[in-house]
Amino acid sequence: MLTEQPNPNSTNIDRLSTLEILQVINQEDQQVALAVERALPAVALAVDLLTERLRQGGRLIYVGAGTSGRLGVLDAVECVPTFGTPPDLVVGMIAGGEQALTRAVEGAEDDTHTARDDMAQHKLSERDTVVGIAASGRTPYVLGAMHYATEIGCKTVGIACNVPSALLDAVDVPIGVAVGPEVITGSTRLKAGTAQKLVLNMLSTATMVKLGKVYGNLMVDVQVTNAKLQQRATNLVSQLTGLDPEVAFELLQASENNVKVAAIMHHRQVNMEIARSLLADAQGNLRAIIGDH
């Protein structure tokens, strides 16, 4: 496998100075974005698939082991505060369960039977889309999960850094990101992990943009759960309405901390209940209600 081959550019890394070690790592990292660029057509197919199926009431479910699993869980968790999604809309599954998030659970990635059991607990429907993440492209846990998802009738996407690979052969939309050998042979938390993180960022962000979770490049479905996000939401309302921050804050309070509702209340001169109704009728698309502002 490409991810397991020795890297000739780092053969003598243990003899280098600190700066030279960092330069080698940095030079290798620069190849990751180029590898992701080559995979963009496949990523676009996956985004369009996800958008369609989420609109139909499906879910996005990430499945991985080790670093790959942690990256999937991270992306799933961050969709809630960033895009205001329900916690069960984007789900992250990792081999070994929650304990594997903070401590390696050796052997969990080889258990195909547990993968099927874990998937069954989520009560998949044919509207769901399952994204398998595996640097090697052959992790048994991930393959087991994908086979189960296919049996249920789910659509499947695979992200792997070995091309070809069993995972890419097993899914509806294969995303192969061939980043080449790692700086430390076989340590796929490095370039492969970075590539996976970049692709996951694209999948969730582009899908949420297409679902109307973003206005322009503004995070208009942000959840106000702390002081920083309260300030961010106030700034968003100010930008969308042209109001001074103090007045924008009052409007945000009147909308029960909903940036979209606050903007509609201002531009359409309606109360919160009517604004919420307009937003629901537009399936959450703010631009469809207030146009370009």
Contact 251/263 with Cβ under 8 angstroms? no
Give the DSSP H or E segment for 199.
helix 191-210
**What confidence tens digit (pLDDT) does each residue in 233-289 have?**
999 999 999 999 999 999 999 999 999 999 999 999 999 999 999 999 999 999 999
Contact 237/243 with Cβ under 8 angstroms? yes
For residue 18, how many other CB atoms are within 10 A of its CB?
A: 7
Clarify whether 246 is annotated catalytic: no
Q: Is the pLDDT of residue 187 over 90?
A: yes
Q: What is the pLDDT, as a whole number, of residue 110?
A: 82
**What confidence tens digit (pLDDT) does each residue in 138-164 have?**
999 999 999 999 999 999 999 999 999
Catalytic residue, from 4, 20, 28, 78: name it: 78
Q: Is the pLDDT of residue 213 over 80?
A: yes
Clarify whether 78 is annotated catalytic: yes
**Close Cβ partners of 200 (under 8 Å, ≥ 6 residues apart):** 62, 71, 72, 74, 75, 133, 159
Domains, in order of start, for the chain: 2-210 (3.40.50.10490), 227-290 (1.10.8.1080)
Q: Is the pLDDT of residue 2 over 90?
A: no
Catalytic residue, from 4, 28, 109, 151: name it: 109
pTM: 0.92
